[in-house]
Chains A and B, each alone.
Chain A
Amino acid sequence: MNKENKTIDPKTIKGWGIDADPKNDPTYPMRERMNVSQDPDSKHRPASLQPVDVEVLKSIERPNVSAVFGTPEPPSGLSGAIRRLAFHYSENRYRHWLPLIVADRVNMVEGLIDDLAHGKVPNLWAEKGYDMDWKYKRGSLILKLAAVTAMSAGLAVWLSSGGDKAGNGRRPKAGRRSKGYIDYNDYSS
């Protein structure tokens, strides 16, 4: 594969060097060029401000709500409570970001519950786009599904066979030979 690389004369490439600039020093130093480094109006804001008619969580690293902001999906439920808590802390702190990630996961469960509450069973196959795997990567999809099925079955077997060993007040008494399962009809003891 790597053998296919060819040497090319850059000057034959359309547009070569068209934007070359020995003084190229973009982005941050641009403020020097534009003479705003000593900006007398650095706090300038747009004249019109979006009315705050939904709950907006504000970073404590700024003094105000920005002139425009997104309104979809305001905080709600348990995830919203976690998000509100996170915004007590600055963006400099893990206790800001980690709760937000936790809230995202809680929000996912809330979304599932909300779907079910509205009589909608999520089509996980479609939402995960597995039709594409079926079309282009069927072998590995089947392998993945087989692995998940095998693990689920193994877990089910383990739980059903190991549940009695775990106790729960149903451990066979010493000296008695275990049947390997719990016989709820056996009152002989």
Chain B
Amino acid sequence: MEYRGPRRVRAVQKPMPEIKHPQDAIVRVLRTCICGSDLHLYNGNVPDTRVGSTFGHEFVGEIVEVGKEVTKVKVGDRVIVPFNIACGECHFCRQGMFGNCHESNTEATAVGAIFGYSHTAGGFDGGQAEYARVPYANVGPTIIPPDMDLDDAVLLTDVTPTGYQAAEMAGIQTGDTVVVFGAGPIGIMAARCAWLFGAGRVIIIDKEDYRLEFARGYSYCEAYNYREMDDPVVFIKKITDWMGADVCIDAVGAEAQGNALQTITGRKLLLQAGSATALHWAINSVKKGGVVSIVGVYGPTDNLVPIGNVLNKGLTVRANQASVKRLLPRLIDHVQNGILNPKGLITHRIPLEEVADGYRMFSAKLDECIKTVLIPPTANR
């Protein structure tokens, strides 16, 4: 996969990735996904997204080569590759903040390194390819249990941990009412995981009826279309006995719709780091003293949000890129015990060679697309 400019990608032959560091591994990609946050890159909204880059931060594969310091995995191992690149040794990694590693991104301190996510996130090529370079192979890559389906495994690289961490960061207490903005794969997974933390009521808000219907079945939650409401904030207040939700989760980020001012200034004119409509609604819908958990991705500049309401309502705001490495053991257990069913999110499987069609389908939400998996031609060797 190669990026050529906003909303232009194509499949090309590129040179094989090489070992650049003694802890590197080269992975033959077996499954890779298009993530909602890839759309920020695809739309040209992430600064320093260079033509020729390969996207893809959700992938699993087989190790085909290792650097001389790699001891934890070996050639032939099939591994889950967390979307964030983490050294495991720096001040932040040692706190379990594997999404905030300080030794993998030279070009920005505002974000750790992410595979295939622009030079702002480290400049690494991603996994929407036949082969990928994986730094710090002693830290990130986690061996896929023999009985685990590759489709489940690939959704443990980002979607499942990010959805889970959204619920975890929300500090959900037993019986809490949780509102999730965005019924994309992350939002649907966040809604599902909210129950694991003891939520008493889970509500999801989106504008696509097919996604709401899916969420209702997959996440056992209430689902509402904001296009049928005069004002989603008033709606949520009304259905929460005029108090507001205990917890609101922003699982949308920069591509949010629903507010013309935000859309024009955030998505069209790039005067903001994306459209902050979902975050705006989250802050205003949560009850006083509540928690807003943000996993929707925004750019590095500024956004229009009612920060005064955060102060005046005494809110707690938590946000982070998921610490995939930290969460994987627990989540693998949940998948193996049948508590979580990540592959149930997959609606489309597309050959990697048709990556442009995959992006278009996912970005335009065609054919009731929720999650697209790309399969490289070399995956079945």
Contacts and interface: CB of A to CB of B under 8 A. Distances in A.
Given A15-B334, A20-B174, A97-B300, A131 B197 contact: no
B7 A24 contact: no
A22 B209 CA distance: 35
B69 interface: yes
Contacts of A13: 195, 220
Assign chain B's interface to a size class. Answer: 35 or more
A69 interface: yes
Interface in A17-68: 17-22, 24-27, 30-31, 34, 36, 39, 41-46, 48-51, 56-59, 61-62, 65-68
Interface stretch (A120-128, A150-158, A162-170, A171-179): A120-128
B71 interface: no
A38 B53 CA distance: 39
Contacts, number: 250
B7 A69 contact: no
A36 B93 CA distance: 11
B94 interface: yes
A119 interface: no
B23 interface: yes
A42 B105 CA distance: 17
B366 A133 contact: yes
A83 B52 contact: no
Interface in A104-129: 104-105, 107-108, 110-112, 122-124, 126-129
Contacts of A62: 102, 106, 109
A26 B295 CA distance: 14
Interface string B4-35: 11111110000000001111100000000000
Given A97-B47, A108-B4, A111-B5, A132 B107 contact: no
A73 B119 contact: yes
Contacts of B89: 44-46
Interface string A62-86: 1001111111110000010001000
The main secondary structure of chain B at its interface with chain A is loop
Interface residues of A, number: 80
A129 B171 CA distance: 41
Contacts of B5: 107-108, 111-112
Given A19-B197, A26-B165, 11 more contacts: A2-B224, A10-B195, A24-B172, A34-B96, A66-B106, A68-B85, A68-B104, A71-B20, A97-B299, A108-B5, A132-B360
Interface of B: 4-10, 20-24, 44, 47-54, 69, 85, 87, 89-91, 94-97, 102-110, 113, 119-120, 122-125, 135-136, 165, 168-169, 171-174, 195-201, 209, 212-213, 216, 220, 222-225, 228, 270, 299-301, 318, 320, 323, 330, 334, 338-340, 356-361, 364, 366-367
